[in-house]
């Protein structure tokens, strides 16, 4: 990995199977995260996501430590952009108080 890839992508949570582009990325560009390289299938605009592994129809898409969608096409390839044409929303139940191991005490607000 060379220094030119630094800060071009970010992985928000360890279980993600997508990365977020922090800059516009080019078709066939190779970017790296956590010592793994990914060759992009098409250009990826900044703030958009791309898959870091091949997935099949029905496979779950993980972001923020939870399932946020499922693949709707027959398959998606590593380096391919995540779009609404390839996925559908699917929410997973989670315990927001312990999602990141943070203990919180939310105030109780009573409304009259």
Q: What is the pLDDT of residues 70-98, one digit of tens each?
A: 999 999 999 999 999 999 999 876 555 55
Confidence of residue 2 (pLDDT cuts 50, 70, 90): very low
- Tokens, residue 50: 């791309």
pLDDT of residue 91: 83
pLDDT of residue 94: 58
Q: Which of 86, 42, 91 is nearest to 62 (CA)?
A: 91
Q: What residues form DSSP beta bridges with 38?
A: 31
- Tokens, residue 27: 């078709």
Distance CA 71, CA 11 (A): 19
């Amino acid at each position: 990995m060379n220094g030119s890839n630094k800060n071009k992508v970010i992985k928000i949570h360890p279980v993600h199977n997508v990365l977020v582009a922090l800059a516009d990325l080019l078709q066939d560009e190779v970017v790296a995260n956590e010592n793994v390289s990914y060759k992009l299938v098409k250009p990826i605009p900044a703030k958009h996501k791309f898959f870091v592994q091949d997935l099949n129809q029905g496979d779950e898409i993980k972001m923020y430590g939870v399932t946020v969608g499922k693949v709707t096409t027959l398959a998606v390839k590593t380096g391919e952009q995540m779009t609404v044409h390839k996925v559908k929303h699917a929410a997973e139940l989670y315990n927001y108080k312990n999602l990141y191991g943070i203990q919180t005490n939310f105030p109780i607000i009573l409304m009259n």
